[in-house]
Amino acid sequence: MTLVGLIPGRHLATLGAAGTALFLGGTAGNGEAQATRPEPRTTVEWDVGAVRSGWCLHFLMHPEASHQGLPRGISAAHASGRTGLHPALVTLVQNEPQYQDWTPAELCTVVAGRLAVGDRVFDQGDGGEPLILIWWAVAALGPEGQTTAARYFGTNSTGLKQQMKASLLDLERVKATLEPLADSEERQLRLELEGAVLFFDGHITPDTIPTERDHHWHWVAPGPRNLSWEAEASASPEASGGVAGALRIQGKRRLAIILTESPIRIFGPGFTGGSFTLRLRR
């Protein structure tokens, strides 16, 4: 597998393979019994089909910015000693120790043609755009050791957002469009979220050598009343490979500052086709 690094300034590499809370509402009750009654376990399942593309952008967060929006009992983790990192982050931290206490993070995007949840099917985002899911997660430590915590989870579908609110789960609204590129058949993805406007024009470069294609993620996310969600996601694509292209960042708040401060920004393996599934439970 080949990964093409998109790293500003002096960090440039071509390598071999390797927030906002999710809120749960409650049902109004009466008296002391409501206060002591254990809340029922909640599970939300998504089945995403007709996946056009998916990828994750890996970067480092300054220690002062990495502790916000995490569940109770969860703390941001340092890059030093963290397992499972993108090889480019490992190399950077080994060669430049001043970044050992920064926190690894990833911003992931899935562009799809259909999402089923329960008996509802959503086949496009707002304005007729392709349906887009996005999450921002950071490396963290919990009571049982190494974990990953979601700071942001959103979609460009107002219908899906409203459906999830009815299911007692809040999603953030992402402004997303696919815009034509001059003298090219490709389109530029524009994302507006968390104080940043991101422009990505590029594509997945499938591997010619067969590799393990499935991708898996696991996060925890904060909810109200000191509760937490657990999220498990997996992609079973038709093809996996590197991500080639360019990323441009605009904005002067929150995510824009974090991304521009990062000493490295590199795309991990991308994927196309196949399916994507997500299970959220509390």
Angle at 145 between CA 141 and CA 147, to 5 degrees: 55
Nearest to 39 by CA among 251, 281, 249: 281
Q: Which of 15-19, 64-68, 81-85, 109-113 has the lowest mean pLDDT?
A: 15-19
Q: Give whichever of 22-26, 47-51, 278-282 has the largest mean pLDDT.
A: 47-51
Asked whether residue 251 carries a pLDDT value surpassing 80, the answer given is yes
Q: Are 125 and 173 in contact (CB under 8 A)?
A: no
Write b or e for each residue in 104-131: b if 16 or more Cβ atoms lie within 10 A of its Cβ, otherwise e: bbbbbbbbbeebebeeeebebbbeebbb
Which tens digits make up the pLDDT trace of 94-113? 999 999 999 999 999 999 99
At 185 the pLDDT is 65
Confidence of residue 225 (pLDDT cuts 50, 70, 90): low
Mean pLDDT to the nearest integer, 40-69: 88
Low-confidence winner among 22-31, 43-52, 143-152 (lowest mean pLDDT): 22-31
pLDDT at 164: 83
Q: Please say whether the beta carbons of 36 and 85 come within 8 A.
A: no
- The answer to whether residue 3 scores a pLDDT higher than 50 is no
Fold (CATH) for 2-7+44-275: Acetoacetate decarboxylase-like (2.40.400)
Give the least confident one: 103-107, 113-117, 154-158, 183-187. Answer: 183-187
Q: What is the pLDDT of residue 39?
A: 53
pLDDT at 67 over 50: yes
pLDDT digits (tens, 9 = 90+) for 155-182: 999 999 998 877 767 788 999 988 777 6
Look at residue 178 in the predicted model and tell me its pLDDT. Answer: 83
Query: What is the pTM for the complete model shown?
Result: 0.81
Residue with the bigger pLDDT between 61 and 280: it is 61
φ and ψ at 165, to 5 degrees? -65, -40
- Average pLDDT (59-84) is 89
CB 42 within 8 A of CB 272: no
Which of the residue ranges 49-63, 228-242, 248-262 would you say has the lowest mean pLDDT?
A: 228-242
Reported as a pLDDT band with limits 50, 70 and 90, residue 204 is: confident
Spatial separation of the C-alpha atoms in residues 213 and 165, rounded to whole Å: 33
Give the pLDDT band (50/70/90) at residue 25: very low
Percent composition of the chain: helix, strand, coil (DSSP 3-state, to 5) = 15, 50, 40
